[in-house]
Chain A
Amino acid sequence: MSSVQIRDVRKSFGNFEVLHGVTIPIEDGQFVVLVGPSGCGKSTLLRMLAGLENITSGTISIGDRVVNNVQPKERDIAMVFQNYALYPHMTVADNMGFSLKLRNAGSDEINKRVKRAAEILALSPLLDRYPRQLSGGQRQRVAMGRAIVRDPQVFLFDEPLSNLDAKLRVAMRTEIKELHQRLKTTTVYVTHDQIEAMTMADKIVVMHDGIVEQMGTPLELYDKPENQFVAGFIGSPAMNFLKGHVRVNGVATFEGPNGVKLPLKTAPAASDGRPAVYGVRPEHFTIADDGAEAEIIVVEPTGSETQVFAKLGGEQVVAVFRERHQFNPGDKVRLKPDPSLVHLFDDATGKRMNA
């Protein structure tokens, strides 16, 4: 186990810079999730950490050692690939023992370690099978088994669950998290799925267009997104954004589209009349007499909660209610955001304005 330090790392392909100076400290034993939309550079960063891509500038250290010029096999890391990259001509046991075989470990040692890893991952009955004879979830576990037999300093996961069906993905998510709690190996996990990030991470790093937008614990990111990108990326259904202006006339309010009035707890200093974006999560709406009038368009009950799409000041917003209201399309309701939970972003820069 080791800490990992990524300091001001840049990556260019030709003249095209894809990572613009990324700094991420990772503590020993931490489960860090790099999350962001396609093309944000998260996979490239992971491959640089693995040694599969060169580092254009900046440094990456594992433990106390700068690994910029260290061969992948000397870095003592193990990686789980999106397509699993299982060797098709080797049995499950050979796949898992391959790295030990290359290290000239004795066959007793290999057997012992493969057996232990297989027990951890419930793969023992499958050791003699070939990858083709396994289901998607089993292949995924073999790929993890291949990583854990080596007992590396750092585990790297490159979107390991995206080839699985929805149900299996949820199950494997829990399994990976449990595995981490058991082994306590430093883990860097790349995904584009914010739910995976939220549920698994000790620390989430939100990346976008080659920079780090924000890092922190899942709840920090959910409660206090530093900018509009993070606010929109984290949370499902996504946060509602309404453009308008801050008004301070004794009480702070937000004047939304078409003059709709929305509550603010406090206005940021010297913000009267400033153009801003009002952010409210779907789950932070309530029905109240002093709410803003909205017209219901679509109602989607999921059983545990109900998603309501409505027009508020001409803009479409989503609200989620755990209570069972009788809503019908075309109904008028009064939606009130919880003022202590709303987010205010600068219209020009997207930076968070309220505390």
Chain B
Amino acid sequence: MADVAIPRAKPQMSEASAWTQLKHNRNWLGFWFMVPAMAFLIFFLAYPLGLGIWLSFTDTRIGRVGHFVATENYEWLWDDSIFWLSVFNTLLYTFVASALKFAIGLYLALLLNENMPFKAMLRAMVLIPFIVPTVLSALAFWWIFDSQFSIISWSLKHLGLINQNINFLGDTTWARICVIFANIWRGVPFVAITLLAGLQTVSPSLYEAATLDGATRWQNFRYITYPLLTPIIAVVMTFSVLFTFTDFQLIWAMTRGGPVNATHLMATLSYQRAIIAGQLGEGAAISSAMIPFLLAAIMVSWFGLQRRKWQQGESND
């Protein structure tokens, strides 16, 4: 019996060992661990992105399956002055708001990094604009900038500085200033708190050493704080630029792109064309047109984020 059983068992064993090998293969196991995350990313990121790009090459409308029209949507946009105005608005909005957010955020971070009374409370207070839902703060600004009931107009009138209400959201220049102001108000806390976190990683003994070396406060900032903060500045400004460039809520709640499209950003124009007007293909094309700009912003930060020489490994050679 033993003679018979042994040759039979052999092929079974080698089969089992192939399966066991697979079972013990770390890459195979790792693949299965990655599946949930991959599925999540594919369904919620890759698929919508791909669909959006695909739609931009079709003439899909709401209620009608579209046909492939190649680059017709883009050719249309190329000759569309409103589209170009929205590109200009978006760039203006992004550059002005991001630059001011950086300046104010850095200033606040440096201020909050000082020793002062009620430090913890002040730090918490700085975060408030960030916590308030965007739509809520947009509504508040809408009120503040209302043509009739604006508290700013009211105050200035009572101070005798103006005779008439300022038409904040009705005048093209004022409207642009107002939405940029609201965006800065919302965005500063993120920049300030992140930079503050960065500032706190700088060892105080470096400042002491620099002070003994003869550095003034400005030189402390110029030669110690700023260079050590650059990696974090790169990260925070990338995020800030991306968020600002793709901003939608604030504009839609405050101006809906008006007056005369003066505050239409690419995101709001895309929404208006795709959802309100039903031209899904054209709207998708406007959205897709944002991709090169965003990629450019990411590339800039990619190179900014590259580990600097002084951050590189500990090897002695």
Known interface pairs A89-B308, A103-B214; A83-B224 also in contact (CB < 8 Å):
no
Report the nearest A residue to B204, measured CB to CB: A85
CB atoms of B205 and A83 under 8 A apart: yes
A320 nearest CB across to chain B (Å): 39
Q: Which of B166-174, B183-191, B276-284, B309-317 contacts A (4 or more CB under 8 A)?
A: B309-317
B221 nearest CB across to chain A (Å): 13
B27 nearest CB across to chain A (Å): 34
CB atoms of B316 and A81 under 8 A apart: no
A31 to B95, CA, bound (A): 58
Collect the chain B residues with CB atoms within 8 Å of residue A50's CB: 208, 212
Collect the chain A residues with CB atoms within 8 Å of residue B212's CB: 50-52, 72-73, 77-79, 99
CB atoms of B228 and A89 under 8 A apart: yes
A308 nearest CB across to chain B (Å): 44
Instruction: State the majority secondary structure of interface residues on B.
Output: helix
Give the interface size class of chain B.
Answer: 20 to 34
Beta-carbon contacts under 8 Å, B248-268 to A: none
Collect the chain A residues with CB atoms within 8 Å of residue B228's CB: 88-89
Collect the chain A residues with CB atoms within 8 Å of residue B309's CB: 130
Beta-carbon contacts under 8 Å, B145-197 to A: none
Report the nearest B residue to A71, measured CB to CB: B211
Check A157 for interface membership: any CB of B closer than 8 A.
no
CB atoms of B206 and A87 under 8 A apart: yes
CB atoms of A132 and B311 under 8 A apart: yes
Check A102 for interface membership: any CB of B closer than 8 A.
yes
Beta-carbon contacts under 8 Å, B9-46 to A: none
A146 to B213, CA, bound (A): 9
A132 to B313, CA, bound (A): 7
A88 to B230, CA, bound (A): 13
Check A179 for interface membership: any CB of B closer than 8 A.
no
Beta-carbon contacts under 8 Å, B122-148 to A: none
Check A98 for interface membership: any CB of B closer than 8 A.
yes
B284 nearest CB across to chain A (Å): 45
B29 nearest CB across to chain A (Å): 36
CB atoms of B315 and A133 under 8 A apart: yes
Collect the chain A residues with CB atoms within 8 Å of residue B210's CB: 87, 98
A132 nearest CB across to chain B (Å): 6
Report the nearest A residue to B215, measured CB to CB: A102
Check A90 for interface membership: any CB of B closer than 8 A.
yes
Check A15 for interface membership: any CB of B closer than 8 A.
no
B229 nearest CB across to chain A (Å): 10
Check B7 for interface membership: any CB of A closer than 8 A.
no
Collect the chain A residues with CB atoms within 8 Å of residue B224's CB: 87
Check B203 for interface membership: any CB of A closer than 8 A.
yes
Report the nearest B residue to A81, measured CB to CB: B205
Check A340 for interface membership: any CB of B closer than 8 A.
no
Check A326 for interface membership: any CB of B closer than 8 A.
no
Known interface pairs A85-B205, A88-B228, A102-B219; A130-B310 also in contact (CB < 8 Å):
yes
Residue interface mask A105-136, B partner, CB < 8 A = 1? 00000000000000000000000001111110
Give the residue of B211, B311, B316 whose beta carbon is less than 8 angstroms from that of A135.
B316
Collect the chain B residues with CB atoms within 8 Å of residue A146's CB: 209, 213
Check B223 for interface membership: any CB of A closer than 8 A.
yes
CB atoms of A81 and B209 under 8 A apart: yes
Known interface pairs A88-B310, A132-B312; A72-B203 also in contact (CB < 8 Å):
no
Report the nearest A residue to B315, measured CB to CB: A133
Residue interface mask A46-70, B partner, CB < 8 A = 1? 0000111000000000000000000
A83 nearest CB across to chain B (Å): 6
Check B227 for interface membership: any CB of A closer than 8 A.
yes
Report the nearest B residue to A134, measured CB to CB: B316
A170 nearest CB across to chain B (Å): 22
A346 to B212, CA, bound (A): 45
Known interface pairs A52-B208, A85-B208; A99-B311 also in contact (CB < 8 Å):
no
Collect the chain A residues with CB atoms within 8 Å of residue B314's CB: 132-133
Most buried by A among B213, B308, B312: B213
CB atoms of A102 and B310 under 8 A apart: no
Known interface pairs A89-B228, A103-B214; A98-B311 also in contact (CB < 8 Å):
no
Collect the chain B residues with CB atoms within 8 Å of residue A87's CB: 206, 209-210, 223-224
CB atoms of B310 and A73 under 8 A apart: no
Report the nearest B residue to A130, measured CB to CB: B310
Known interface pairs A83-B205, A89-B308, A133-B314; A73-B214 also in contact (CB < 8 Å):
yes
A168 to B199, CA, bound (A): 33
CB atoms of A98 and B213 under 8 A apart: yes
Collect the chain A residues with CB atoms within 8 Å of residue B215's CB: 73, 102
A77 to B213, CA, bound (A): 9
CB atoms of B214 and A83 under 8 A apart: no
Give the residue of B206, B209, B214 whose beta carbon is less than 8 angstroms from that of A79.
B209
Give the residue of A85, A88, A102 whose beta carbon is less than 8 angstroms from that of B214.
A102
A88 to B308, CA, bound (A): 11
Residue interface mask B65-109, A partner, CB < 8 A = 1? 000000000000000000000000000000000000000000000
Collect the chain B residues with CB atoms within 8 Å of residue A103's CB: 214
Report the nearest B residue to A150, measured CB to CB: B213
B317 nearest CB across to chain A (Å): 8
Give the residue of A73, A77, A85, A134 whose beta carbon is less than 8 angstroms from that of B203.
A85
Most buried by A among B208, B209, B211, B311: B209
25 A-B interface contacts by CB (under 8 A): A51-B212, A52-B212, A73-B212, A73-B213, A73-B214, A77-B212, A79-B212, A81-B205, A81-B208, A83-B205, A85-B206, A85-B208, A87-B206, A87-B223, A88-B228, A88-B310, A98-B210, A98-B223, A102-B219, A103-B214, A132-B311, A132-B312, A132-B313, A133-B314, A146-B213
- A73-B213, A85-B209, A102-B214 are known contacts; what are 4 more A-B pairs with Cβ within 8 Å? A81-B205, A132-B311, A133-B315, A133-B316
- 10 closest A-B pairs by beta carbon, nearest first, are A99-B213, A73-B214, A85-B209, A85-B205, A130-B310, A102-B214, A89-B310, A89-B227, A81-B205, A72-B212
Q: Which residues of A contact B (CB under 8 A)?
A: 50-52, 72-73, 77-79, 81, 83, 85, 87-90, 98-99, 102-103, 130-135, 146, 150
